[in-house]
Structure 1
Amino acid sequence: MKDCITLDDNMAAPSLERLSMTWCELPEEHRNSISLPSLVHLELIECFGRLPVLESLPSLETGIVRLGENSGDQCFRSVRGCYTYSPCQDCHFAIDFAIARGRSYFFEGLSRATHLELSSPFEYALIFQRDLSWCPTFPMLKTLVLDDWCLDDDLSAVILFIQQSPNLEKLTLELFEVFDSLMVREGSYYHPWKGTFASDHLKMVEIKCEEFDERVKKVLKILSTFGISLEKIHIRLTDTSSGSECFHFVCTGFSHS
């Protein structure tokens, strides 16, 4: 489906195995729901409107979600959302919906996947952060690709994925947005992570970037703080304009002092 308008509140098909929606228009005033018990591959690429409720995707293996500037799930006051006594219309909608549902409505539907790619410009990823606050689990997840949106809040999103994915083997962080100091500010958005956790299952963390800047150093410092061995971290310096890899190294000699 490309450049389509979805009118149905509920998308259900018992035998559908692959669904790709690119630049499609989803509702703005409510969330439609997707229930596809045989779905193996799901793509939601820069759709307009609000992310759907993923109700039942028990057969899912691959999920690829890319948010863009047309996402209906964002706050125009702050990239962190407003939690005042008079929240903006979009935050009011999100808060009321979350309270009424009482659990994750998006990541819970992706929880059976073995491969996930979740990307968004930093300023449009509020919906990812909010839905992760329900601490969904990903027991089948083997490989995970995230980009710059996950850098906020002391890598809370990254740490949660590692902790809640006991079979995760490879994590890839693609950090190609123009550097902004907001991306590495202190303070967790939803979880005051402390201490270390079991991460023996994680075999590699791959960081793709154009230069070894402050955000990369921040990532290394936080991962090492949470017990991720620097020997597992591979950094690939890549020229995005040409697509060529300039340099690759394992971060054994890094010092974050």
Structure 2
Amino acid sequence: MSELASTPCSSKSTRRTTNGVDRVSSLPDELLHHMMSFLPMPEVVRTSLLSTRWRNLWASTPYIRIDHHDFKDYGKLKKFGDHLLLLRDGATSLDEARILANNVDTFTCCEWVRHAIMQKARHLHVSGYALLDSTAMFPAQHLKTIRLRSLVLRGGFVRLLNCECPVLEHLEIEQSDLWDLKEISSWSLKVLHLIRCLIIKGLVICASNLTHLSIDEQSCHSGAVVTRDLSSLVTASIRLRYDYYHTSGGSILDYRLLDGLSNATTLELHAPLPELTFERDLLTCLVFSNLTSLVLGDWCMAADLYPLRRILHRSPKLKELSIKLEMEECRSCKKSESALPLARGALPSGSGSSHPFIETIIIHCQKKDSRGDALLQALKLIAGNAKISIERR
């Protein structure tokens, strides 16, 4: 605007502007679609009133957004979403579909998701207090990313997701209830994030091409997690509540958390495994053969560092170790100390106490936590050649 204002009135550019030439409309569709991507979707649709050039441009945008924040009235939201999907140019593939629809009924939400998939969406983000079941799925040959938040997922939805999404690479489920979901299994999946989800029954994760896995702070009433056939796993971060395994119900001996983690090169584990589960997990998880970086939580200090030393004994390539003491005392760990079959420092014969490949060890703890100093002294005996430091906060 400043450049136009400073241009002499007799200039050709000024005459073209004052003569009503619309230079923006002369831009190619790709640039106009990019400009429209910064607008709320109702405003994108309203651009059809600008001129004949813009009349149908909104219908071929490579994205759709249905957002309840744009509407105060539920009826208007539903009408807008229905018409948006119905009138959109189906010949144009969707790059992204975002459906943020709190309190939308299950039928409508499933219908919107199904329509987005039918229009070849590559990235799908659904958020809202709705239920997704098998009616929401459609063979999705193009879907690469799915993000689901604050939903109730029925097993039928995920079963179809497992077998009808051949190129799906990234799946993120946050703050959702997985009612009858028993397994997440995919040949194409590479990244899986489960964030504060409620797993009603035990969940099996089986994905041979998965490279990144994170499970963060599941509900204390959740069923336990089994990991299998994660042969491509590179990084894993597991953070479970300290009362997780003590309230999950069922036979805890049937669960195998560590099975699929043995191939990871980087592992963060805040999972206070009960003593019998820990022992049985280690029997099937023979060695962390690729592990070079390890982060452990308070639970590893139970029974005179028995869990820590057991894991170190099975990690021959470990170079970096971090221990995060986040609580003053892990009550679940204290309760299980006496039940550990090899408690009070005993290790299997021939295990040794030296770990020459460990280069650095960092202990993270609160300023007044005396466990930090005790752990420092103990680690000097376990890995005396490593550079050991304490970071207090």
Unaligned stretches of 5+ residues in structure 1 = 76-88, 99-104, 239-257
**Structure-2 change in CA distance of 1:219 and 1:93 (3 Å):** same
More off after superposition, 209-218 vs 189-198: 189-198
Q: C-alpha displacement at 1:225, in angstroms? A: 3.4
- Asked whether the equivalents of residues 211 and 232 of structure 2 are also in contact (C-alpha less than 8 Å), the reply is yes
User: 3-state SS of the aligned residue for 2:218?
Assistant: coil
Q: TM-score with structure 1 length normalisation?
A: 0.71
Cα deviation 1:19-65 (Å, max 9, x = unaligned): 1011112124xx22111111011111112312221111111101111
Counterpart position of 1:234: 389
> Contact (CA 8 Å) 1:119, 1:149: kept in 2 or not?
yes
- Tell whether 2:306 aligns with 1:156: yes
Please say which of residues 177-186 and 141-150 is displaced more in the overlay: 177-186
Secondary structure, aligned partner of 2:208: coil
Q: Per-residue deviation at 1:70?
A: 6.8
Which of 309, 312, 323 does residue 173 from structure 1 map onto?
Answer: 323
Q: Is the 8 A contact 2:323 2:363 kept in 1?
A: yes
Decide whether the 8 Å contact of 1:42 with 1:62 is kept in 2.
yes
- 2: CA distance between counterparts of 1:50 and 1:108? 17
CA gap of 1:182–1:218, structure 2 versus 1, over 3 A, is farther
- Ranges in structure 2 where 5+ consecutive residues have no aligned partner: 1-172
Q: 1:166 to 1:234 in 2, by over 3 A?
A: same
Alpha-carbon displacement from aligned partner over 1:87-129 (angstroms, at most 9, x marks no partner): xx94x7224x26xxxxxx2111100000111125xxxx234x4
Query: 1:86 corresponds to which residue?
Result: none
Give the helix-richer structure, 1 or 2: 2
Alignment of 1:62-211 (within 5 A): 62-68=235-241, 71=244, 73-74=245-246, 90=249, 93-95=251-253, 97=254, 105-120=256-271, 125-127=272-274, 129-134=275-280, 135=282, 136=285, 137-179=287-329, 189-191=340-342, 192-193=346-347, 196-211=352-367
Amino acid at match of 2:389: H
> Against the structure 1 CA distance between its residues 184 and 225, is the aligned structure 2 distance closer, same or farther, given a 3 Å change threshold?
farther
Q: Could you tell me how far apart the structure 1 residues matched to 2:242 and 2:312 are?
A: 28
- Going from structure 1 to structure 2, the CA distance change for 1:205 and 1:190 (only over 3 Å counts) comes to farther
CA–CA distance in structure 2, aligned partners of residues 5 and 181 of structure 1: 28
Residue 230 of structure 1 and its aligned partner are, at CA, apart by 6.8
Q: 2:372 aligns with which of 199, 216, 240?
A: 216
Distance 1:231 1:37 in 2: 34
Q: Residues 242 and 332 of structure 2 are in contact (CA less than 8 Å); yes or no, is this contact kept in structure 1?
A: no
Percent of aligned pairs with the same amino acid: 24
Q: How many residues align?
A: 208
| Rg comparison, structure with higher value | 2
Question: Which of 184, 203, 206 is the matching residue for 1:35?
Answer: 206
Which residue matches 2:175? 3
Q: Hey, what's the Cα distance between the residues in 2 that align with 1:149 and 1:175?
A: 9
RMSD: 2.8
SS in 2 for 1:165: coil
Pick closer, same or farther for the CA change 1:213–1:114 going to 2, 3 Å: same
Q: Work out whether 1:56 is the aligned partner of 2:229.
A: yes
